[in-house]
């Protein structure tokens, strides 16, 4: 089987459209906003990609920066937030100590080999009383109890049984790391990723082209082939299954 090596640089052009677009971004931004305290004047959306969420967090009295490592993503973010798209690694932010009122981070921590250094960096740039709002348990949230989830079975990371990089955003881990760096949990929220419902046909295509969740790229060849075969015989190949609901956790800098 021939696969194309995944790259965020090439994914950028289709990232928004393939992941729910404006509707998904609006739902995420509203949930983030619900966990932000009043008086947030300086905010960084770390791993903010194309800026489709970050631009929705801008207010007349609030400055928002989008930070990301991917050049192609940042070109799109710059068009949405001129002068406020910055290339940076999440574990080495080009910001001074205690200079932000808030950090947001959507669908980043689950990608990391180790989320601890990034949590430390988020805590460093937050002022006392500042808030981090991040997605948690991302891969587990994709399990909506559909027939697709039955096919994926125990190969899909779920809360409590995730392994490797897939558990770097597990709630328990984020709370524990946060406590090391003076971050205490203060709230939770959730949002539905509208238009992200998966079909057997689209999921099979994502797996074949190496564009599905990162854990899927580590599947043994036999497991990969079994999943593709089982997906192919599911009814309703183009019928969307329910959209996932993603969890947000807010932590305050003590």
- Name the residue with higher pLDDT: 211 or 127: 127
What's the alpha-carbon Rg for the chain, to the nearest Å?
Answer: 18
Give the other-Cβ count within 10 Å of 99's Cβ: 14
**Residue 159 pLDDT exceeds 80:** no
Q: Are 135 and 106 contacting, i.e. CB atoms less than 8 angstroms apart?
A: yes
pLDDT class of 161 with cuts at 50, 70, 90: very low
pTM given for the model: 0.87
**Residue 166 pLDDT exceeds 70:** no
Q: What is the DSSP letter of 89?
A: B
Distance CA 65, CA 86 (A): 7
Taking only the tens place, the pLDDT of each residue in 198-232 is 899 999 988 888 777 667 777 889 999 999 999 99
Q: What is the DSSP letter of 59?
A: B
Token code pair at residue 222: 């036999």
Mean pLDDT over 230-252 rounds to: 96
Strand bridging mode 183-192 / 245-253: antiparallel
Taking only the tens place, the pLDDT of each residue in 82-120 is 999 999 999 999 999 999 999 999 999 988 889 999 999
Domains in the chain, CATH or no CATH each: 8-142+157-197+242-253 (3.40.50.150)
Distance CA 187, CA 28 (A): 15
Q: Are 69 and 10 contacting, i.e. CB atoms less than 8 angstroms apart?
A: no
Token code pair at residue 231: 């997906």
Q: Are 123 and 253 contacting, i.e. CB atoms less than 8 angstroms apart?
A: yes
How would you list the strands of the sheet with 183-192, edge to edge? 85-87, 63-68, 42-46, 100-105, 126-136, 245-253, 183-192
Q: What is the DSSP letter of 243?
A: P
Q: What is the DSSP letter of 95?
A: -
Q: Are 100 and 130 contacting, i.e. CB atoms less than 8 angstroms apart?
A: yes
């Amino acid at each position: 089987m021939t696969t194309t090596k995944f790259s965020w640089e090439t994914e950028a052009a289709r990232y928004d459209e393939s992941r729910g677009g404006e509707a998904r971004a609006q739902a995420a931004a509203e949930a983030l906003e619900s966990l932000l305290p009043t008086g947030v004047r300086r905010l960084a959306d770390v791993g903010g990609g194309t800026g489709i969420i970050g631009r929705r967090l801008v207010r007349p009295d609030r400055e928002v920066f989008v930070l990301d490592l991917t050049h192609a993503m940042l070109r799109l973010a710059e068009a949405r937030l001129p002068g406020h798209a910055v290339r940076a690694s999440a574990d080495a932010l080009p910001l001074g100590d205690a200079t932000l009122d808030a950090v947001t981070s959507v669908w980043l921590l689950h990608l990391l080999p180790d989320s601890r250094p990034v949590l430390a960096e988020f805590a460093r740039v937050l002022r006392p009383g500042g808030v981090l709002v991040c997605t948690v348990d991302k891969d587990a949230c994709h399990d909506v109890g559909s027939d697709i989830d039955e096919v994926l079975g125990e190969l899909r990371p779920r809360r409590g049984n995730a392994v490797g990089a897939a558990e770097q955003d597990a709630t328990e881990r984020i709370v524990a790391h946060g406590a090391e760096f003076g971050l205490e949990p203060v709230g939770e929220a959730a949002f539905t990723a509208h238009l992200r419902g998966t079909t057997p046909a689209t999921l099979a295509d994502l797996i074949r082209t190496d564009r599905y969740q990162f854990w899927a790229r580590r599947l043994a060849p036999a497991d990969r082939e079994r999943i593709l075969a089982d997906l192919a015989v599911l009814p309703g190949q183009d019928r969307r299954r329910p959209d996932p609901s993603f969890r947000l956790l807010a932590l305050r800098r003590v």
